[in-house]
Amino acid sequence: MKIAMISEHASPLAALGGVDAGGQNVHVDALARGLARLGHEVDVYTRRDDPHLPERVPLEKGATVVHVPVGPDHPVPKDDLFPLMDDFADWVELDWARRGDPAVVHAHFWMSGLAALRAGRARGVPVVQTFHALGSVKRRFQGAADTSPTERVGLERRLARDVDLVIATCADEVAELERMHSGTDHVRVIPCGVDTVHFTPHGPTDTGPTGSTERPRLLLVGRMVERKGFDVAIRALADLPGVELVIAGGPPVESLDDDPEARRLRAVAEEVGVADRVIMTGQLAHEDMPAVYRSADVVLATPWYEPFGITPLEAAAAGRPLVGSAVGGLLDSVADGVTGRLVPPRDVPALVRGVRELLDDPEKGRRWGAAARARAVTHFDWGVVTAQTERALLEVARRRDDGADTVDTTAAWLDAHAREFQDGMASLMGQSDVVRSWGEQLATCLVGGARLLAAGNGGSAAEAQHLTAELVGRFCGERRPLSAISLCAESSSVTAILNDYGPDEVFARQVEAHGRAGDVLVVLSTSGTSSNVVHAAKRGHEVGMRVWALTGPAPNPLASIADEALTISAGSTAAVQEVQLVAVHAICAALDAALRARGRLHAPTSEVVTA
């Protein structure tokens, strides 16, 4: 498949080092290379900011960087590029006319989206949008310091509505899109990725400027900008005697004295009396970073806000626990109490407590670090992220290609769908411990008199009814009927609540009516973003229920707020639903296995007629 990517200010050629390098550069570089390795033809369109750059530069086999000649032929701040986007789009449109249209265009950042939508609509090419950061969030936290064009927030709202698919990088971004009233039915969460081959727990350790590993070491990684909250970590150091803080990033070490933020941070360190324990390395080479991460006992990420954040992923891949702010992408990338500890932003005492928790219990640190590495490999490795993105792009491209030969299209669909289903089954099998745990918990609570409520929309509603039918009836063997109610099957209640209270209360009000402390609420949503299901989960917590979610790929809002979740990574809604049905049967089988072990399940008699 021919794929166009537009990244107007962030060239993948700047991904490894250089003053313009950042998270978006790395993301576009890794994604373009990954898609090319899967056999696709990828063109990445970015602005030419040097007169000596050729029009087309091979990135690797199958991937090319295309330099678009608009605006000055030298670097300019990205916020100044907004007036150039129509010209950028027109050049891209002409390039497609000369070389052939792509099957889909994937835009990165809001200005790229404007160009992609203009060119895409002119040529009939579907548009996928990844924002990387939303202007409404930036404006909320930076206020007058926000240099974005004043039109940004309104244009982002329109863009989110008009594109064919939005790929959000975290659940917090989906919630922000909901607050913007942009609609989320066409939003899919696919996180940023990390190179788990480059960043590993094993290998040399960089002791850094101190040349010693005797003192416990905390590590901050990133650009020196105020919103990263490095000063919070420096102030916390005053209550952590004997601990050193390494700050890796910022300008080259020889330029630190001239950097305003570096000078401000040094002044804070002098103010709180920890200047001798704060080490600034300056900018480090990408190839040196794994050893730097491995040198740390605890990695910190202390931003006021963070659209996603690469540091938590790199720390996790390196097998290091992290203490970070409970904001933005960190809510997804850090599993609180499993791979690290999340604390309120700008809360120095909370940060101190989080660090002490790990320094006082090295075994917990090792356990969380190992869990972080495992989660990085299964959820955030670039291979996983690229495969999820490929499936999303293919799905969008297929919607346009409805004029192909029926036989060939059907065969191709079946072949692709079989692979999607296999991916989903592999995802489910990797969570067999969760399935077994749910079966055992149900064997205890339902037999003990508790009740299970289930809710979902559309196909998920059918699966909710399927689950409750198996519990009230039977699955593998004879047992007493168990109390289970599908809230979507209550047609009179559903329509009355919808009419009187609105769609968000359709399931939530029933949960409040029927749910009791100790009961179980199972909520199903392939996207994990269905508003009425999310509201039901929140109401379940309010009445003291255990809330379990069956969703599509994580992270997503529903999985984030549930007590436990089974998240199915598959390439289409249909494949997710089919694997969720397998999950429903697997949960029932686990329940029956637990009851059999307790002598409460008997083989079915010959007189029993099964459905």
| pLDDT tens per residue across span 457-494 | 999 999 999 999 999 998 988 889 999 999 999 899 99
Q: Residue 347 burial by CB count (10 A; 0-12/13-18/19+): exposed, middle or buried?
A: middle
Which has more pLDDT, 223 or 509?
A: 509
Residues 424-433, mean pLDDT to the nearest whole number: 88
Per-residue pLDDT at 399: 80
pLDDT at 330: 93
Query: What is each CA distance from 420 to 425, 426, 578, in whole angstroms?
Result: 9, 10, 10
Q: Where are the beta strands (DSSP E) in 8-115?
A: 41-47, 56-60, 63-68, 104-108
DSSP helix/strand/coil, 206: coil
Return the CATH number of the domain spanning residue range 208-380: 3.40.50.2000
Q: What is the bridge-based pairing of β-strands 520-525 and 546-551?
A: parallel
Q: How many CB atoms lie under 10 A from the CB of residue 255? A: 12
Assign a CATH topology to domain 427-597. Rossmann fold (3.40.50)
Q: How far apart are CA 518 and CA 66, in angstroms?
A: 58
pLDDT attached to residue 460: 93
Q: Is the pLDDT of residue 427 over 70?
A: yes
Q: How sure is the predictor about 21, in pLDDT bands with cuts at 50, 70 and 90? A: low
Contacts of 556 (CB under 8 A, 6+ apart): 171, 174, 189, 525, 527, 528, 529, 567
Q: Which residue has the higher pLDDT, 33 or 599?
A: 33
Q: In what order do the strands lie in the sheet with 244-248?
A: 278-282, 244-248, 217-221, 298-301, 322-325, 340-343
Residue position matching structure tokens 């075994």: 363
pLDDT bracket for residue 207 (50, 70, 90): low
2-189: CATH topology: Rossmann fold (3.40.50)
Half-sphere exposure for 518 (CA within 13 Å, toward CB): 7
CA 559/CA 335 separation, integer angstroms: 12
Closest CA to 311 of 319, 299, 326: 299
Please give the angle made by the CA atoms of 391, 395 and 399, to the nearest 5 degrees. Answer: 170
Query: pTM for this one?
Result: 0.69
Give the Å distances, CA to CA, from 377 to 261, 282, 381: 34, 29, 5
Most confident of 303-312, 348-357, 487-496, 527-536: 348-357
pLDDT value of position 594? 93
As beta bridge partners, residue 57 has 65
Q: In what order do the strands lie in the sheet with 546-551?
A: 484-486, 452-455, 520-525, 546-551, 564-567
Which structure tokens are listed for 561? 């707020």
- How many Å apart are CA 538 and CA 508, to the nearest integer? 8
For 444-455, what is each residue's pLDDT tens digit? 999 999 999 999
User: Residue 598 — very low, low, confident or very high, per pLDDT cuts 50/70/90?
Assistant: confident
Q: Percent of the chain, pLDDT > 70?
A: 94
Q: How far apart are CA 105 and CA 112, in angstroms?
A: 10
Beta bridge partners of 565: 549
Distance between start and end Cα atoms, the chain? 44
- Using 50, 70 and 90 to split pLDDT, how confident is the model at 141? confident
DSSP state of 48: -
Cα 240 to Cα 321, 351, 365, 484: the distances in Å are 17, 10, 17, 52
Higher pLDDT, 214 or 432: 432
- 2-189 against 427-597: fold identical: yes
Cβ(608)–Cβ(460) under 8 Å?
no
The Cα–Cα gap between 455 and 462 comes to 9
Residue with tokens 């850090």: 334
Q: Is the pLDDT of residue 7 over 50?
A: yes
Instruction: Report yes or no: 230 and 269 within 8 Å, Cβ to Cβ.
Output: no
- Given CA atoms 198, 204, 208, 212 in this order, what sign does their dihedral have? positive
pLDDT band at 412 (very low <50, low <70, confident <90, very high): low
pLDDT in tens, 313-372: 999 999 999 999 999 899 999 999 999 999 999 999 999 999 999 999 999 999 999 999
Quickly state the pLDDT bin for 572 (edges 50, 70, 90).
confident
Q: Please name the residue that has the structure tokens 């289930």.
A: 454
- Mean pLDDT in the chain? 90
Runs of H (alpha helix) within 258-318: 260-272, 289-294, 311-317
Q: Where are the domains of the chain?
A: 2-189, 208-380, 427-597
* Helix, strand or coil, per DSSP, at residue 479: coil
Helix (H) or strand (E) holding 325: strand 322-325
Token pair, residue 154, equals 């309104």
Neighbours of 604 (CB within 10 A): 14
Q: How confident is the model at residue 261 (pLDDT cuts 50, 70, 90)?
A: very high
Q: Which residue has the higher pLDDT, 90 or 225?
A: 90
Q: How far is residue 508's CA from residue 492's CA, in Å, rounded to a whole number?
A: 15
Average pLDDT over residues 390-396: 93
| H-only helix segments in 360-405 | 362-375, 382-400
How high is the pLDDT of residue 414?
80
Using H for helix, E for strand and C for coil, what is the string for 54-79?
A: CCEEEEECCEEEEEECCCCCCCCCHH
Kindly report, residue by residue over 30-81, the tens digit of the pLDDT. Answer: 999 999 999 999 999 999 999 999 999 999 999 999 999 999 999 999 889 9
Alpha-carbon distances of 74 from 21, 48, 53, 69, 115, rounded to whole Å: 16, 8, 11, 11, 20
- Mean pLDDT of the region 513-530: 93
pLDDT band at 423 (very low <50, low <70, confident <90, very high): confident
Return the residue matching tokens 């199903």: 524
Give the pLDDT of residue 403.
Answer: 47
- 84-125 per-position pLDDT tens digit: 999 999 999 999 999 999 999 999 999 999 999 999 999 999
Q: Residue 611: what pLDDT?
A: 43
Handedness of CA 471, 473, 479, 483 (dihedral sign): positive
- Token representation of residue 209: 């400027």
Instruction: Report the phi/psi class of residue 167: left, alpha or beta, with left for phi > 0 and alpha for psi in -120 to 50.
Output: beta
Which region among 56-60, 108-112, 201-205, 410-414 has the lowest average model confidence (pLDDT)? 410-414
Query: Mutual orientation of helices 230-237 and 348-359 as an angle, nearest 10°?
Result: 60
pLDDT (0 to 100) of residue 407: 44
